[in-house]
Amino acid sequence: MEFLTQIINGLSTGGMYALVAIGYTMVYGIAKMINFAHGEIIMVGAYLAYVMTSIVKVPIIVSVLVAIAGCALLGVVTEKVAYKPLRNSGSLAVLITAIGVSYLLQNLFLILFGSAARTFPQFMPSGTVSLFGAHITYVALLSLVLTFICTGLLLLFINKTKLGKAMRAVSEDRGAAELMGINVNTTISLTFAIGSGLGAIAGIIYGMSYSLINPYLGAMLGIKAFIAAVLGGIGSIQGAMVGGLIIGVAEAFTISYISSAFSDAVVFGILIFILLVKPAGLFGQNMREKV
Amino acid sequence: MSLLKAEGLGIQFGGLKAVDEFNFEMNQNQLYGLIGPNGAGKTTVFNLLTGVYKPTSGQIIFNGKSLLKMTPTQITQLGIARTFQNIRLFKKMSVIDNVKVGLHHSQNYSLLSSILHLPSYFKGEEAMHEMAMSLLRVFDLEKYADVKAGNLPYGKQRKLEIARALATSPKLLLLDEPAAGMNPIETEELMETIKIVREKFSIAILLIEHDMKLVMGICEKIAVLNFGTVLAFGTPDEIKNNPDVIAAYLGNEE
Amino acid sequence: MKKKQIKDLIISFIAALVIYGLIMFLMSAGVVDYYWSGILIMACINVILATSLNLASGYLGQLTLGHAGFMSVGAYTSALCSLYLHLPFLLSLLIGAIAACLIGILIGIPTLRLKGDYLCIITLAFNEIIRVIMLNLSITNGAKGLMGFQAMNIDFSVYFISAVITIYVIYCVVKSRHGRAIISICEDETASELSGIPTSYYKILAFAISAFFAGVAGGLYAQYMGMLVPSTFDYNKSVEILVMVVLGGLGNLKGSIIAAIVMTILPEYLRAFADYRMLLYAVVLIAAMIIKEKNLGPRIKSKFFKNKTVEVDD
């Protein structure tokens, strides 16, 4: 049952991508920027959980909560300090600032923890369950379940609550939302907080799946998750989830059937294909320029 | 043979028919107006004629050629130039460079000759400069030649847009609300300019305008658009007294 | 007009000649040692990269993050030409540049329909794919690196002259009717199309010229380093080049030149900070962008030089 095992492995990595992709898609939808530093937030999440469990030695649940809260705070602070002053600037300025923030976090953690990988604490027993003959690790299963729960809760929040409605309004038309009395600053902060919080969960899943973490882990993970968000259609949360899962499976298949050397190339190839064929992504809407 | 002929022209956005069964004909050197209530589809007609939108039905013949498969660039080169409702100048370029962009095809020196600074480059640039200056003179803009286009006052920006459009040496000029945002004196001035342009360049002009004084004052014939179709067509006097037109503008009193 | 343009050109050439003479004198006098002449060579290469990217990102206004990809095509092609075909250096360099240019056209045709962030991310993707290909081809020797192609007798002059030619060509392009067409696309693509400019052609043209010179820079880099590894040309290198262009000012050739030189030399002075160097770079980058965009520059200046009046244009 090699095939099924690969699918499920792919889905579980895909789940992690999906959680990160949701962060990208939410921020892009509302702030209209690629938050290049989002990958680093995930790295910070993984390190926070590592520090709390292995060094401060608090219970696992506490370190998870600290990681989520820490990342949410970090997301909000980066937005306030680095992105907010550039809210009305061109996308180039924001892009470069975001890359600056990403370098900043990466190098800060390099100085704090060194470039050598740290062993991520064991959050749950290693072992596998058999499902239709495929062997799935507990971590993979947890990753998938968490992805679905988080996406479901987020969709409920966005579609059913007042704050969620405010978020949709701001992403539709910031100026009009402001005129309707919506506090745009709070809404943007909230978006960064939720996106970064989900990033922390993704970081912890990363740590559990690969059991080694280093300060560079966010860079490629971030780019792949962004590709997942584009694939799904930027701005769409369901899209980000589906995109993440597809990227995960595509990657798992490339590694097991072609070569691990080309897994990155295949992911980038998917991005190129989707942008050329359907730039709005699977769930996105086409925009028409007004003349 | 007519200069421009649109037959059964239509475009749909989703389920909405923005323009439907639009029939229209114009000859050389005529000055026509296109009016209608807000949302009647006037600018959409311009967008169809210039290739910005592709029609979902109908045919456009310009100078004996069908425009349906042409890009906006090709259509402009064929001889239709336009201005925009919400002025679209190259704001950070100088006034004269805006016109020179329109003059792009008037010279044909190659990239290589500009890199090697061959005589053809200097000759071409010199000629372009002269042509641009004489166009600016028509609109009294010559003293602003080196000013950034975005820094011009509003009325002058409108004029510069017309100058840029004329630089492409069109046979038909489409003006989209040229008097929008102008005060009565500026509008008066603009009417004069439009007349001069038509004489001097002997071109046909089709203009969209809400200022009835301007439209009725200079247009030979007027087409009234309502809900994407031509409601009425005729001389200003005929249009003024057409009950359908009055109903479309003021609403039916029953 | 003609006279002024020729006068400007002559002055610029004399300035370049003076700088060249000065550097050569300092080198022969031993004031500029081997280590620093290497940095000056890198400065020339970065000037080529920054000015050429400025044509695509500044003048044409297309945000691209794939310049390092074109650079690597130029670097590997010219190195392989020297290594296996034993071609003279300048011919290899030219072939490398043409290869980069062709790849640029190949990538440009489908992608240049996209705008802004999307174009940026798709060029980044091509950059990474080129890197993966270089990593896995046997002819490039993958991660182990390619060596043994260096030509003899190539000194600082070649790098300097290449930089001057690049600047000159891009200046000429910008100052022609072709350049105006390119700039008009950046300003308003629809208006440009409706002014009769064949926009697709000019987008590809600008992109191709930009890629050509990235290829030149790559070939020079290969010659200078004497060894090529694919990881040099990842998207971080593209970001580095883009940062030079942005800090120097989009559509500002002088700015690109100065930014490229400063950003090559400055890190050398920061070596003392060792580990903190990249951190400092990141902080400077964020601060520079905010200061630039918020137009805080003149205000900060006025705090230090109180007698000057300040104009803030919005």
* Tens digits of residue pLDDT in C144-197: 999 988 888 888 999 999 999 999 999 999 999 999 999 999 999 999 999 999
Give the chain A residue nearest B51 (alpha carbons). A291
At C311 the pLDDT is: 37
At C314 the pLDDT is: 35
The answer to whether the CB of C242 falls within 8 A of the CB of C62 is no
Tally Cβ neighbours within 10 Å of residue C147. 14
Rounded mean pLDDT of chain B? 91
At C10 the pLDDT is: 92
Confidence of residue C308 (pLDDT cuts 50, 70, 90): very low
C-alpha distances (whole Å) from C120 to each of A13, A177, B67, C88, C240 are 26, 29, 34, 36, 14
Averaged over C59-82, what is the pLDDT?
A: 95
Averaged over B150-171, what is the pLDDT?
A: 93
Averaged over C84-88, what is the pLDDT?
A: 94
Scanning the structure block, which residue is given the tokens 């780019």?
Answer: A223
CA distance B231 to chain A (A): 24
Which tokens is A119 given?
């062993």
Query: Which B-chain residues 95-154 have CB contacts (< 8 A) with chain A?
Result: none
The better pLDDT of the pair B160, A32 is held by B160
Using the beta-carbon criterion (under 8 Å), do C275 and A101 form an inter-chain contact?
no
B84 touches chain A (CB under 8 A): yes
pLDDT, tens digit, 9 for 90 and up, residues A134-173 = 788 888 888 889 999 999 999 999 999 999 999 989 988 8
Cβ partners under 8 Å of residue C72, min gap 6: C130, C131, C134, C218, C228, C230, C232, C233
Chain B residues in contact with C205 by the CB 8 A cut-off are 111
Q: For residues C58 and C61, what is the distance between their CA atoms, to the nearest angstrom?
A: 5
Look at residue C47 and tell me whether its pLDDT is greater than 80: yes
Tally Cβ neighbours within 10 Å of residue B116. 11
The full set of domain ranges for chain B reads 1-79+170-254, 87-167
Using the beta-carbon criterion (under 8 Å), do B73 and C196 form an inter-chain contact?
yes
pLDDT, tens digit, 9 for 90 and up, residues B201-234 = 999 999 999 888 889 989 999 999 988 889 999 9
Look at residue C313 and tell me whether its pLDDT is greater than 50: no
Using the beta-carbon criterion (under 8 Å), do C187 and B93 form an inter-chain contact?
yes
Confidence of residue C298 (pLDDT cuts 50, 70, 90): low
At the topology level of CATH, where does B1-79+170-254 sit? Answer: Rossmann fold (3.40.50)
**DSSP per-residue string spanning chain A:** -HHHHHHHHHHHHHHHHHHHHHHHHHHHHHH-S--TTHHHHHHHHHHHHHIIIIIS---HHHHHHHHHHHHHHHHHHHIIIIIGGGTTS-HHHHHHHHHHHHHHHHHHHHHHH-SS-EEPP--S---EEEETTEEEEHHHHHHHHHHHHHHHHHHHHHHHSHHHHHHHHHHH-HHHHHHTT--HHHHHHHHHHHHHHHHHHHHHHHHHHHSEE-TTHHHHHHHHHHHHHHHH-TT-HHHHHHHHHHHHHHHHHIIIII-GGGHHHHHHHHHHHHHHH-TT-SS--------
The answer to whether the CB of A7 falls within 8 A of the CB of A132 is no
Which tokens is A148 given?
């679905």
B43 touches chain A (CB under 8 A): yes
Looking at chain A, the whole-number percentage of residues with pLDDT higher than 70 is 97
At B124 the pLDDT is: 94
Scanning the structure block, which residue is given the tokens 């300097």?
Answer: C160
CA distance C308 to chain B (A): 25
The full set of domain ranges for chain A reads 2-277
In the 8-state DSSP scheme, what is residue C262?
Answer: H
Averaged over B51-74, what is the pLDDT?
A: 93
One-letter amino acid at B28 equals Q
Residue A138 CA, distance from chain mean position: 21
The better pLDDT of the pair A123, B46 is held by B46
CA distance A291 to chain B (A): 8
Confidence of residue B248 (pLDDT cuts 50, 70, 90): confident
Count contacts between A and C (CB, < 8 Å).
Answer: 114
Looking at chain C, the whole-number percentage of residues with pLDDT higher than 90 is 64
Closest CB from C126, C279, C293 relative to A104: C279
Structural element, H or E, at residue C228: strand C227-228
* Selected residue of A286, A287, A290, A291 to mutate for chain B interface (largest B Cβ count, 10 A): A291
C191 touches chain B (CB under 8 A): yes
Give the chain B residue nearest C251 (alpha carbons). B92
Give the chain C residue nearest B74 (alpha carbons). C196
The better pLDDT of the pair B194, C292 is held by B194
Tell whether the torsion through CA atoms of C20, C22, C25 and C27 is positive or negative: negative
For B68, phi and psi rounded to 5 degrees? -60, -40
Tally Cβ neighbours within 10 Å of residue C120. 23
Tally Cβ neighbours within 10 Å of residue A202. 34
In the 8-state DSSP scheme, what is residue C231?
Answer: G
Q: For residues B136 and B130, what is the distance between their CA atoms, to the nearest angstrom?
A: 10
Closest CB from B77, B97, B121 relative to C196: B77
The better pLDDT of the pair A106, A129 is held by A106
Which tokens is C228 given?
């090529």
CA distance B229 to chain C (A): 25
Closest CB from A34, A103, A268 relative to C281: A103
Look at residue A258 and tell me whether its pLDDT is greater than 60: yes
Residue C311 CA, distance from chain mean position: 32
Which tokens is C270 given?
């920061």
* Selected residue of C59, C194, C250 to mutate for chain B interface (largest B Cβ count, 10 A): C194
Range of the domain at C130: 33-253
Nearest to B213 by CA among B233, B246, B185, B251: B185
Give the chain B residue nearest C184 (alpha carbons). B90
**DSSP per-residue string spanning chain B:** --SEEEEEEEEEETTEEEEEEEEEEE-TT-EEEEE-STTSSHHHHHHHHTTSS--SEEEEEETTEE-TT--HHHHHHHTEEE--TT----TTSBHHHHHHHHTGGG----HHHHHTT-HHHHHHHHHHHHHHHHHHHHTT-GGGTTSBGGGS-HHHHHHHHHHHHHHT--SEEEEESTTTT--HHHHHHHHHHHHHHHHHHT-EEEEE-S-HHHHHHH-SEEEEEETTEEEEEE-HHHHHH-HHHHHHHH----
Closest CB from C124, C126, C282 relative to A100: C282
Confidence of residue C309 (pLDDT cuts 50, 70, 90): very low
Look at residue C86 and tell me whether its pLDDT is greater than 60: yes
At C293 the pLDDT is: 79
Is residue C11, in this structure, part of any structural domain at all?
A: no
Scanning the structure block, which residue is given the tokens 């971590």?
Answer: A139
At A287 the pLDDT is: 54
Chain B residues in contact with C187 by the CB 8 A cut-off are 90-93
**DSSP per-residue string spanning C14-67:** HHHHHHHHHHHHHHHTTSS-HHHHHHHHHHHHHHHHHHHHIIIIIIS------H
For C139, phi and psi rounded to 5 degrees? -70, -25
C250 touches chain A (CB under 8 A): yes
Which chains have at least 3 CB atom pairs separated by less than 8 Å from chain C?
A, B
CA distance B108 to chain C (A): 9
- State the angle between helix axes of C177-187 and C156-174 in degrees (0 to 180), rounded to the nearest 10: 70
In the 8-state DSSP scheme, what is residue C151?
Answer: P
Number of domains in chain C: 1
At C312 the pLDDT is: 36
Q: For residues A274 and A227, what is the distance between their CA atoms, to the nearest angstrom?
A: 10
One-letter amino acid at C178 equals H
Look at residue B37 and tell me whether its pLDDT is greater than 90: no
Averaged over B232-238, what is the pLDDT?
A: 91
Chain B residues in contact with A291 by the CB 8 A cut-off are 43, 47, 52, 84
Chain B residues in contact with C194 by the CB 8 A cut-off are 50, 52, 72-73, 76, 81-82
Q: What is the pTM of this model?
A: 0.90
Q: For residues C234 and A101, what is the distance between their CA atoms, to the nearest angstrom?
A: 19
Cβ partners under 8 Å of residue C307, min gap 6: none
Averaged over A85-110, what is the pLDDT?
A: 89
C291 touches chain A (CB under 8 A): no
Using the beta-carbon criterion (under 8 Å), do B72 and C191 form an inter-chain contact?
no
Chain C residues in contact with A261 by the CB 8 A cut-off are 132, 135-136
Tell whether the torsion through CA atoms of C237, C242, C243 and C248 is positive or negative: positive
CATH architecture classification, A2-277: Orthogonal Bundle (1.10)
Nearest to B115 by CA among C178, C3, C213: C178
Scanning the structure block, which residue is given the tokens 């061109």?
Answer: A90
Averaged over C47-74, what is the pLDDT?
A: 95
Using the beta-carbon criterion (under 8 Å), do A272 and C294 form an inter-chain contact?
no
At C299 the pLDDT is: 59
Q: For residues A99 and C236, what is the distance between their CA atoms, to the nearest angstrom?
A: 10
Look at residue B190 and tell me whether its pLDDT is greater than 50: yes
Look at residue C307 and tell me whether its pLDDT is greater than 60: no
C13 touches chain B (CB under 8 A): no
* Selected residue of A95, A106, A259 to mutate for chain C interface (largest C Cβ count, 10 A): A95
Which chains have at least 3 CB atom pairs separated by less than 8 Å from chain A?
B, C
Using the beta-carbon criterion (under 8 Å), do B167 and C195 form an inter-chain contact?
yes
Averaged over A116-137, what is the pLDDT?
A: 83
Averaged over B78-84, what is the pLDDT?
A: 95
Using the beta-carbon criterion (under 8 Å), do C169 and B115 form an inter-chain contact?
yes
Which tokens is B66 given?
């069908």
Q: For residues B226 and A210, what is the distance between their CA atoms, to the nearest angstrom?
A: 66
Rounded mean pLDDT of chain C? 89
The answer to whether the CB of C9 falls within 8 A of the CB of C201 is no
pLDDT, tens digit, 9 for 90 and up, residues B122-144 = 999 999 999 999 999 999 999 99
Using the beta-carbon criterion (under 8 Å), do C187 and B97 form an inter-chain contact?
no
Give the chain B residue nearest C172 (alpha carbons). B115
3-state secondary structure of C227: strand
* Selected residue of A79, A92, A109, A271 to mutate for chain C interface (largest C Cβ count, 10 A): A92
Query: Which A-chain residues 149-188 have CB contacts (< 8 A) with chain C?
Result: none
